[in-house]
Amino acid sequence: MKDLEALTHAIVEMEENKTIELTQQLLESKTDALSVFKAYQDAMTEVGKRFEEGVYFIPELVMSGEMMNNALEMITPLLEEKASDENEEKLGKILIATVEGDIHDIGKNIVTTLLSLNGFDVKDLGVDVPVDRIIAEAKDFGADVVGLSGLLTLAFDPMKEVVEKMKAEGLDDKKIIIGGGQMDDQVCQYVGADAWVIDAVSGINLCKKWVS
């Protein structure tokens, strides 16, 4: 869809007013809310690449995050309308965090929202979370699944450290899923995670399968 492509372009180019206008137009025209989020996700992947290439810097990362947070205020109610409330009991406990060195919370926020809407008990630790805190919280919370988020390649090593420390602490029974625009099979193998995803819906379906 050209409008979705235009939205992605506007986000990447830091055109805040145009981004808000296009988002409103798309949602008012009944474009699927997750498709709108995907446009943001595609844009954030490109923003992350530009950051690592030295084209963009922290202010651009912060601004892009603010644009997505504004969009979430519009998207979340639509997602809530679609969410099923059949199961009042929580399906399982999921701990989620953006790992140390990465301040992106775009994908993490939408996943946290969708997981909660789909019946999970979710604890979100935020961004730039130290490895040792993730381990401690996973124990205290009794998480069934630990979700590690990161947009930048510098997130790979902290993710790997989390997996290694969890095994050393005897937490092998907890599933670990990594998410972010640059994840793939090779990164998943390097990190040692159980699975990787680049979109929220796949992650939620996988978590449902694990706790069923």
DSSP secondary structure string for all residues of 63-74? HHHHHHHHHHHH
At 205, which amino acid appears? N
What is the per-residue pLDDT across 36-76, written as a single tens digit (0 to 9) for each? 988 988 898 898 889 889 999 989 988 988 898 888 889 88
- Lay out the sheet containing 175-179: strands in order across: 121-124, 93-98, 145-149, 175-179, 195-197
Query: Which of 78, 73, 70, 69 shows the shortest CA–CA distance to 35?
Result: 78
* Per-residue model confidence (pLDDT) at position 83: 61
Mean pLDDT, to the nearest integer, of 155-163? 97
Question: Is domain 93-211 given the CATH code 3.90.226.10 in the classification?
Answer: no
Q: Which residue has tokens 């409103």?
A: 24
What is the per-residue pLDDT across 137-154, written as a single tens digit (0 to 9) for each? 999 999 999 999 998 899
Which CATH architecture is the domain 2-82 placed in?
Orthogonal Bundle (1.10)
Query: Which of 130, 133, 110 shows the shortest CA–CA distance to 122?
Result: 110
Q: Is the pLDDT of residue 193 over 50?
A: yes
Q: Is the pLDDT of residue 107 over 90?
A: no
Long-range contacts of 46-53 (CB under 8 A, 24+ apart): 46/8, 46/12, 47/11, 47/12, 47/151, 48/104, 48/151, 48/152, 48/181, 48/182, 50/12, 51/152, 52/152, 52/153
Q: Is the pLDDT of residue 156 over 90?
A: yes
pTM score, two decimals?
Answer: 0.74
* Per-residue model confidence (pLDDT) at position 86: 47
Residue 62: CB atoms within 10 A of its CB come to: 11
Q: Which residues, 6+ apart, have CB-to-CB distance to 120 below 8 Å? A: 90, 91, 92, 93, 94, 207, 211
Backbone angles phi, psi at 149, to 5 degrees: -110, 145
Do 2-82 and 93-211 fold alike per CATH?
A: no
Which residue ranges make up each domain of the chain? Answer: 2-82, 93-211
